[in-house]
Amino acid sequence: MVDVKLEGNGNGLGGIVGWANGNLEIINCVNLNTLLNSNCATGGIIGVGEDMTGGIYNSYNAGEIHVKGPSSSGIVGSTNSNIEIINVYNKGDITENGNFGRGGILGSNYTVVGSGNVYITNAYNLGNVIENNLNWSYAAGAICGYPSDTSTLTIENSYYKKGTCSVAVGLRKDSLYGVSSLNEINYEEMIKNFKEFIDDNKSKTSEWKYWILGEDGYPTLDYNS
């Protein structure tokens, strides 16, 4: 589906999966559709991952997200789960009202110690994450909006375009994560870092695709390799 506007009010709204539970792996998926008018957690790929295992791999979102729900993001709206988010990027803007947790890659991880761990790597965000109209004005970030506990969220090898949001990680926890602005690294170097990660983890990534420089000048996933 292309140029479709998706609306929903329920457990979660997602460009690929609205609400996920149990073991699920999303691989090589793309959302180009606009998501709007949702009063639930919303994500370009997954809206809500609850008590889920697995992850999202080799996927991206280019659809805009205009919602009123509690948490929204280009990739995963909200989760309390043990999941990986690897080889992903977001190009869609995240706007409108929301209670908390607005991020380019992850809106919020509402995990507590022992209940789930979110691992993000090989990720970048180009979409604007609007910081106004939040109950907690600082619960927005270019990568993650609301990290409930730093021990349950790991971010590695991830980047964002300067100006998309004032911080990479919300709740004023920016300094706790090694996230770089795209202004501080050239795209060829970023692709090299992405590929080195894949080479170092071949046992897990043997079926994953490699990164190349896209026609727009930004890294993209090579689905034809």
pLDDT band at 4, cuts 50/70/90? very low
pLDDT of residue 64: 92
How open is the CA angle 210-214-219, to the nearest 5 degrees? 55
199 domain residue, yes or no: no
Give the closest residue to 153 by CA, choosing from 196, 105, 197: 105
Establish if 210 belongs to a structural domain.
Answer: no
217 lies in a domain?
A: no
Give residue 197's pLDDT: 82
Q: Does 207 reside within a domain?
A: no
pTM for this structure? Answer: 0.89
201 vs 147, more confident: 147
Whole-number mean pLDDT of the chain? 83
User: Alpha-carbon dihedral of residues 182, 184, 187, 193, nearest 10 degrees?
Assistant: -100
Two tokens, residue 153: 């969220």
Q: Is 224 inside a domain boundary? A: no
Residue 175: pLDDT over 80: no
Confidence of residue 45 (pLDDT cuts 50, 70, 90): very high
pLDDT at 181 over 60: yes
| 78 within 8 A of 41, measured Cβ to Cβ | yes
| Sheet order of strands, 65-66 included | 5-7, 34-36, 65-66, 94-95
d(CA 20, CA 156): 24
In a domain, 95, yes or no: yes
In a domain, 223, yes or no: no
Q: Give pLDDT tens digits for 78-87.
A: 998 889 999 9
- Asked whether the predicted pLDDT for residue 100 surpasses 60, the reply is yes
| Rg over CA atoms, the chain | 15
Q: What is the pLDDT of residue 183?
A: 79
Number of domains in the chain: 1
Domain that holds residue 9: 5-188
Residue keyed to tokens 């995990």: 111
b/e 94-116 (16+ beta carbons within 10 angstroms → b)? bbbbbbbbbbbbbbbbbbeeeeb
CA neighbours closer than 13 Å in the CB half-sphere of residue 103: 33
d(CA 138, CA 133): 11
Asked if residue 76 belongs to a domain, the reply is yes
Per-residue model confidence (pLDDT) at position 73: 93
